[in-house]
Structure 1
Amino acid sequence: MKDGVNGVALGVFIFFFLAVTVMGFMAARWRKAENEATLDEWGLGGRSFGTWVTWFLLGGDLYTAYTFVAVPAAIYAAGAAGFFAVPYTILVYPLIFTFLPRLWSVSHKHGYVTTSDFVRGRFGSKGLSLAVAVTGILATMPYIALQLVGIQAVLDVMGVGGGENTNWFVKDLPLLIAFAVLAAYTYSSGLRAPALIAFVKDGLIYLVIAVAIIYIPIKLGGFDDIFAKAGDAFSQTNPATGKPRGALAPAEPGQWGYATLALGSALALFMYPHSITATLSSRSREVIRRNTTILPLYSLMLGLLALLGFMAIAAGVKVENGQLAIPQLFENMFPDWFAGVAFAAIGIGALVPAAIMSIAAANLFTRNIYKDFLKPDATPAQETKVSKLVSLLVKVGALVFVLTMDKTVAINFQLLGGIWILQTFPALVGGLFTRWFHRWALLAGWAVGMVYGTLAAYGVASPTQAHFGGSSKEIPGIGEIGYIGLTAFVLNAVVTVVLTFVLNAVKAPAGVDETSPADYTADAGDPGVRVELPSARPESSPSPDASPSAG
C-alpha cells in the first residue's frame, strides 16, 4: 500500500468527477419538456428514453459501485461462493422478459409511476400499496448507503481525508462534497442526470475491465499462476471459523446455499424500485424487450470482473476490509494515471445508481404515502416538489448511515433489504398475470414473509456481528443451508394461495380492478393508449378506465 495521497490518481479522479458533475446539471436541458412540473418529467425522464439510453440507464442502475467492489471482494474473501452474482444476472433476463413489458404497458396506459401505483390500481387496495411502498423504501435506503461506501473505499485507497486520528469532519469532507454534488444535480435534473452520466460510467467500466483482464494477468504470470496462488490461499485455515478460508469451487454443503441465493436474488432484482423506475422511463414496450436481450452483455463483464478477486490474492493484496481489495489492486498494479481512471469508474459507478435509487424512493413516498394518505388533492407540481425534497432526505439518511455505522452493518442491512423486497413479488408479478389472488391474502402473505425473513436474518451471526450477520440459514424441513429470502418467499406464496381460496370462498370484497386485459399488451403506438395522471379517488370508487371497453 502506498503512503500518503496519490496525487496523480486523485487528479484524474477529480477531472472525471467534475466532468460528470457538469453533465449532471446540463441534463436538465436534455430533452426538456414544455411542462416540467410533473413526476413523469422529473422522476421518469418524460418516459422518452429509447433502446440505447435505457440500456445504459439500466446497466448503470443495476451494476452499481457495490457490484464492482463487493462481487470481487466476495471472491477475494471466500472464493467461488462469491460467483453467485454471475448466474443470477443470467437467470434474471428471461424472467423479466415475461413481465416487464406487461408492467410498462399498463403503467403507460394509467400513468403509474411506481409499482405501488400498479398494485393499488390492480387490487383496489391502498393498504397493500402502502406495504409495497414502505418495503421498497426500506430496501432502498441501505442500498444507497452502499454506493457511498464504494466512493469512500476509493477515497481511502487514494489517501484522501487523512488517517484514523484525523478530525471526523476533515476525514469525511471528500465524501460530503461528493454527496452534496450528487444531491444538487439530482434535485435539478431528476432522472435525466443519471441517464446521461450512465454513458460515461459504463464506458469507463468497460475500458477498465478490458485493460485489467489483460494487463494484470500478464504482470502476475498468467491465469495458471493466479488460480494456483488463489487455491493455495483458500486451503489455509480461517482463524475466525477454524475452517478453510474458501474454495475455487463450492463444496457440496454449500451448494444449496449457492443455488438458492442465486435464484432468490434473480427474483428480487427487478422488485427494487430503482429497477422499475429505469424501466418505466423507456418510450415503448419494445424498448424493454430489446433491452432484456442485450443486457446480458453486462453479465459477461461481471464474470470477468469477478476474476479480479483471484487476481487480488495472487498479487498479495492484504487489507482488513475486503471492500478495499479491488481498489488496492488497481493502485498496486496500474500506473497512477490509469489507477485514477479505474477509481473514477468506481466512483461514478456509485453516483448513477445512488441518484436513481433516491428518485425511486422519493417517488414511492410521494405517490403512495403523501398523495394517497396525506394530501389526496396534491397537484402534479406539488408532487414533483415533494419528491425532490424527499430525494434529498433519502440521501441524507444514507449519508448518516455511512458516517455513523460500521460498514459491515451497511452491507448486511442491504442483504436484509433483498429479503424484504422479494416479498413484494406475488403482488407485483402475480398481479401482472392474474387477478385471482385476493388483496387481503397478498397482504397477509407479505406480512408473514417479512416477519419470518427479518427474524431469521436477525438470528444469523458472523465473526463480526452477533445479529444480522448474513442472509443464509438452515431451511426448515430440509436441513440444508439456504437463502432466507427464498424461504420467506415460499412461505409468503403458500399463505397467499391458501388464504385466497378461503377469502374467495366466503366472498370477501376483492376490491376494484381499474385495469383491463388490453392494458397489458398495448404499445405506445397503439391508438387506444394514452398516458394519464390518475386523480385521487376513494378506494372503492371504480376508475373511468375500468369498463370493458377501456384500452
Structure 2
Amino acid sequence: MSDDLILGTSFIIVFAVTLFGAGVGKKKSTDMEGWLVNNRKMGTFLVWFLLGSEIYTIFTFEGLAGYAYINGAAAFYNVALNDVAYAIGFMVLPTIWLIGKRFRYVTQSDFIEGRYQSKNLGIFVALASALIMIAYIDLNITGLSAVIQVIGQGSISPTWADTIGFLVLAGAVFFGGIRGNAWQAVIKDVLMLVAVVILFVVIPIRYFGSFGYMYGSFVRKIPSHLVLPGVSKKLGPVWLITTVILNAVGQWMWPQWFGVAYTAKSPRTLKLQAVFMPFYQLVKVAVITIGFAAVLILGTSKPGNNVIMMLALKTFPQWFLILFTVAAILAAIVPAGPIVMTSSSLMAKNVVQGLNPRISDTTVYKMTKALVFPITIIALFLTIVVPSLIVSILLVAYDFISQLFPAIVLGGLFWRRATKEGVLAGMLSGWAVAAYLVLTKHDPIGGWNAGMVALLVNIVVFWLVSLATKPVPKEILTNFYQDAFPQTPADPSPNTVEVIVD
C-alpha cells in the first residue's frame, strides 16, 4: 500500500467521522446556546469525551513524545499539571455552572462582565482571549502537518497538509456545533487510545525484548533523560513545580474548557469528570515512555514533533498505519473544534454585540458561525509562517492565558472586594512581564517558569489596585452569587444582574 493511499484512505475516514458529527449535532445547533453549550443538557458520557478530547490532543499524541525525546524527564510536568487541575476543577466548575445557568452565560467573558459589572472589561477579555486561543489552533494544525509529512514522506507539502486540515476542521465546526464535536471526540479518543496502547506494547517487545530490558536500557544508556535538569540543561525541579502550578491554574482559564462547564446538565456531571478524568493520565505516561524509547531507536537527530509517527512508520506494516494516521489526524482536528467555536463566539457575542447591543441574537449566532473560517485561516497563516515545536507553542500560550486566574477564580468566586480596575491592571502587568521574559529568552528565570513569575506580579497588582478602587455593590453581588452560594440571604430583586455600562 503506497503512502498516498494511506493518506487518502485516512482522510476519507476522517471525512466520514466529520460528517457523522455534523449530522448528530446539526439538530441541536439552531441557536447560540444549542451550538455552543448544547442547551446545557450534555450528560456524563459526552462531557467525559468532550473534556478528554480537549485535554488529550495532538499534543498528547505527538508533542509530548517529542518533548520527552528532546528534554527528557521535564515532560512529566504535563502529567502532574492535569491532576492538580482536576482538583481545582472539582471545586470551581460546579460553581461556575450554577452561575452560568442562572444568567444563561455561554462564554467566559459573560461571566467576567456579570461579576465585575463591566461591559468594557468583558469586551477586553474576550478580544484578548480570542487572540491567545489562536496559538492553540496553531498547535493542532502544526501537529497535523507533522503527521502528514511523516506518513506522506514528502508526497504532500506542509502547506497543502495544513490547508487540508483547515478545511476539514472549519467544516466540522461550522455544521456540527459542540454536540457534534463531542461525538467526534468519542471516536477520536477510542482510536487514539488503541493506537497508543499498541505502540506501548509492541515497541518494547520489538526493539528491546521486554519492558524490563527497555527500562534497564534507559538507565544504562540515557540516564540524563531520567533526571532533572538532565538533558534539558535548565529545566530543573523548581521549573517543574512552578510550571505545574501555572499550567494547573491556567487549564480552566482557557475559554473553551471554561465553556465546557456550561454544557453539563448538572454540577454532579462536572464533579464526576474531575474524579475519573485522571485515568487518561495513563496515556501520557505511555507516550512519554515511547519518547524515551525513540532516543535509543531513532538516535537524537530527528525533529521532536515527528518521532511517534516515525516509530509507527518504522515498526508496523503500511496497511496498519491507517489506524495511527486517522487517530493522529482526529487528535489534531477534533480538539480544535471547541477552540474555534469559542474564539468566534467571543468575537461575535462579547466584542461585536458588546460594542453594538442593538445587534440581534440571531445575527450574532450567524456571525459566530461565519467567523469560524477567518479565525482558522489566521491560525493556518501563523502555522505556515512561524512553525515551532508543539510544546513550545503550548507553554507560551499558557503563560498568557493563566493571567486570567485572579480575575476568574480569586476575584470571580472568592474575593468580593476585587474590582474591575484591579483585574485589568493585574492582567496587563502579568502579560507585560510574561512577554518581556519570553521574548528576551529569560524563561526559565532563576529556575522559575516565566509565566509563574508573571502570575505572582499579576496577583500583587490585582490585590493592591482592588483595595484602592470601588468594588461592585454588595446587593448586586448577593444576587450574582445567590445560586452558587445559597447560604447568602436571598435578594428580592429579579434573578438577573443589571449590567452597569462603563
Q: Give the TM-score, by structure 2 length.
A: 0.91
Query: Which residue is 2:395 aligned to?
Result: 415
Distance 1:70 1:47 in 2: 32
Pair 1:332 & 2:351 matched? no
String of CA shifts for 1:340-389, please: whole Å, max 9, x gaps: 2112111101111111100011111122211111x212222111111111
Structure 1 residue 411 displacement after superposition: 5.4
Distance 1:416 1:7 in 2: 35
Distance 2:118 2:53 in 1: 33
SS of the counterpart of 2:483? Answer: helix
Query: Which residue is 2:489 aligned to?
Result: none
Pair 1:495 & 2:457 matched? no
Query: Which residue is 1:248 aligned to?
Result: 226
Distance 1:291 1:265 in 2: 19
Q: 1:456 to 1:515 in 2, by over 3 A?
A: farther
Pair 1:539 & 2:466 matched? no
Query: Which residue is 1:222 aligned to?
Result: 210
Query: Which residue is 1:443 aligned to?
Result: 424
Distance 2:98 2:292 in 1: 44
Contact 1:416 1:454 (C-alpha < 8 Å) held by counterparts: no
Structure 1 residue 266 displacement after superposition: 0.8
Structure 2 runs not aligned, ≥5 long: 487-491
Pick the aligned partner of 1:46 from 26, 39, 45.
39
Q: 1:193 to 1:161 in 2, by over 3 A?
A: farther
Contact 1:88 1:265 (C-alpha < 8 Å) held by counterparts: yes
SS of the counterpart of 1:358? Answer: helix
Query: Which residue is 1:406 aligned to?
Result: 387
Contact 1:78 1:234 (C-alpha < 8 Å) held by counterparts: no
Q: 1:5 to 1:451 in 2, by over 3 A?
A: farther
Pair 1:27 & 2:28 matched? no
Distance 1:473 1:160 in 2: 36
Distance 2:31 2:405 in 1: 28
Percent identity, aligned pairs only, is 26
Q: 1:171 to 1:290 in 2, by over 3 A?
A: closer
Distance 2:467 2:67 in 1: 43
Distance 2:221 2:123 in 1: 49
Distance 1:118 1:362 in 2: 17
Structure 1 residue 185 displacement after superposition: 2.4
- Residue 417 of structure 1 aligns with an amino acid whose one-letter code is A
Query: Which residue is 1:119 aligned to?
Result: 112
- Residue 7 of structure 2 aligns with an amino acid whose one-letter code is L
Q: 1:454 to 1:514 in 2, by over 3 A?
A: farther
Distance 1:376 1:127 in 2: 12
Pair 1:153 & 2:146 matched? yes
Query: Which residue is 1:210 aligned to?
Result: 197
String of CA shifts for 1:411-455, please: whole Å, max 9, x gaps: 544432211111110111121223221221121111111111111
- Greater per-residue helix proportion: 2
String of CA shifts for 1:10-37, please: whole Å, max 9, x gaps: 35523421321221331234xx24xx54
Contact 2:168 2:333 (C-alpha < 8 Å) held by counterparts: no
Query: Which residue is 2:270 aligned to?
Result: 288
- Residue 539 of structure 1 aligns with an amino acid whose one-letter code is V
Query: Which residue is 2:452 aligned to?
Result: 486
SS of the counterpart of 2:371? Answer: helix
Counterpart mapping for 1:148-187 below 5 A: 148-159=141-152, 162=155, 172-187=159-174
Structure 1 residue 261 displacement after superposition: 0.8
String of CA shifts for 1:448-482, please: whole Å, max 9, x gaps: 11111111111117xxxxxxxxxx322xxxxx311
Root-mean-square deviation (Å): 2.7
Counterpart mapping for 1:40-439 below 5 A: 40-159=33-152, 162=155, 172-220=159-207, 221-231=209-219, 234=222, 246-251=224-229, 254-316=236-298, 319-373=301-355, 375-408=356-389, 412-430=392-410, 431-439=412-420
Distance 2:431 2:416 in 1: 23
Q: 1:306 to 1:511 in 2, by over 3 A?
A: farther
Structure 1 residue 132 displacement after superposition: 2.2
Structure 1 residue 508 displacement after superposition: 9.5
What count of residue pairs does the alignment treat as equivalent? Answer: 490
- Residue 190 of structure 2 aligns with an amino acid whose one-letter code is G
Structure 1 runs not aligned, ≥5 long: 164-169, 236-245, 462-471, 475-479, 523-527, 541-551
Contact 2:138 2:379 (C-alpha < 8 Å) held by counterparts: yes
SS of the counterpart of 1:71? Answer: helix
Contact 2:77 2:243 (C-alpha < 8 Å) held by counterparts: yes
Q: 1:251 to 1:320 in 2, by over 3 A?
A: closer
Contact 1:50 1:287 (C-alpha < 8 Å) held by counterparts: yes
Contact 1:230 1:313 (C-alpha < 8 Å) held by counterparts: no
Counterpart mapping for 1:450-469 below 5 A: 450-460=431-441
SS of the counterpart of 2:444? Answer: strand
String of CA shifts for 1:504-541, please: whole Å, max 9, x gaps: 5xx8989954843322158xxxxx9x998x9x96526x
- Once the two structures are overlaid, the 10-residue window that deviates more, 116-125 or 221-230, is 221-230
Q: Give the TM-score, by structure 1 length.
A: 0.83
- Residue 226 of structure 2 aligns with an amino acid whose one-letter code is L
Q: 1:45 to 1:290 in 2, by over 3 A?
A: same
String of CA shifts for 1:217-267, please: whole Å, max 9, x gaps: 1112223433344456546xxxxxxxxxx4312149711011111111111
String of CA shifts for 1:303-337, please: whole Å, max 9, x gaps: 12211101212322565421011110111112222
Contact 1:123 1:439 (C-alpha < 8 Å) held by counterparts: yes
Distance 1:217 1:413 in 2: 30
Q: 1:225 to 1:313 in 2, by over 3 A?
A: farther
Q: 1:509 to 1:519 in 2, by over 3 A?
A: closer
Q: 1:350 to 1:263 in 2, by over 3 A?
A: same
Contact 2:140 2:332 (C-alpha < 8 Å) held by counterparts: yes
Distance 1:437 1:515 in 2: 16
Contact 2:118 2:500 (C-alpha < 8 Å) held by counterparts: no
Contact 1:209 1:301 (C-alpha < 8 Å) held by counterparts: yes
Distance 1:516 1:154 in 2: 47
Contact 1:139 1:420 (C-alpha < 8 Å) held by counterparts: yes
